[in-house]
């Protein structure tokens, strides 16, 4: 299957991406200013991820690839598109623990929960209280050490 990685998407492509993410339980927190990047097979969304600015902080949120097309490099290609979009900015994420190597491909590193902005630290704690195996990661801007 040929897939096109594109974004941020607008209009009908954005609506399809939001609907795709909603199938994974990701919908209420999506804001109009969020940038959504997608993997398209024709006009069908088979993967999506978004960048959100929350409390002045750039956050990678909700990356998903449809189960029947996983392990074909779609997630890695979406991640590459995000790498370009994030550029030299600092970006945070709260991925599942088994995805740390995956996000590490574009410079994310593990961070202690107390390094994270307060709202992200609290979100991580809540996810963990619900039994999710998540961690905090950050990709620092090149100007940070």
Cβ atoms of 24 and 61 within 8 Å: the answer is no
Q: How confident is the model at residue 103 (pLDDT cuts 50, 70, 90)?
A: very high
| Sign of the alpha-carbon torsion through 20, 98, 138, 122 | positive
Cβ atoms of 109 and 138 within 8 Å: the answer is yes
Q: How confident is the model at residue 123 (pLDDT cuts 50, 70, 90)?
A: very high
Share of the chain above pLDDT 90, in %: 70
pTM: 0.88
36-66 pLDDT, tens digit each: 999 998 888 999 999 999 999 999 998 999 9
Cα 121 to Cα 52, 57, 131, 137: the distances in Å are 16, 13, 16, 11
1-17 pLDDT, tens digit each: 688 888 899 888 899 99
Domains of the chain: 4-139 (3.40.630.30)
What is the predicted pLDDT for the residue at 1? Answer: 63
What is the predicted pLDDT for the residue at 62? Answer: 84
Q: How confident is the model at residue 143 (pLDDT cuts 50, 70, 90)?
A: low
Burial (0-12, 13-18, 19+ Cβ within 10 Å), 126:
exposed
Q: How confident is the model at residue 144 (pLDDT cuts 50, 70, 90)?
A: low
């Amino acid at each position: 299957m040929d897939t096109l990685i594109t974004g941020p998407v607008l209009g009908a492509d954005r609506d399809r991406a939001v609907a795709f993410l909603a199938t994974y339980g990701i919908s209420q927190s999506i804001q109009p200013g969020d940038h959504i990047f997608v993997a398209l097979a024709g006009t069908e969304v088979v993967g999506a991820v978004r960048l959100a600015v929350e409390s002045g902080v750039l956050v990678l949120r909700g990356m998903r690839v449809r189960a029947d097309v996983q392990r074909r490099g779609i997630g890695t290609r979406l991640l590459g598109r995000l790498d370009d979009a994030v550029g030299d900015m600092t970006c945070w994420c709260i991925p599942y623990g088994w995805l740390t190597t995956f996000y590490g491909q574009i410079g994310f590193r593990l961070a202690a929960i107390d390094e994270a902005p307060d709202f992200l630290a609290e979100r991580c704690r809540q996810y963990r209280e619900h039994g999710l195996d998540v961690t905090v990661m950050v990709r620092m801007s090149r100007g940070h050490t």
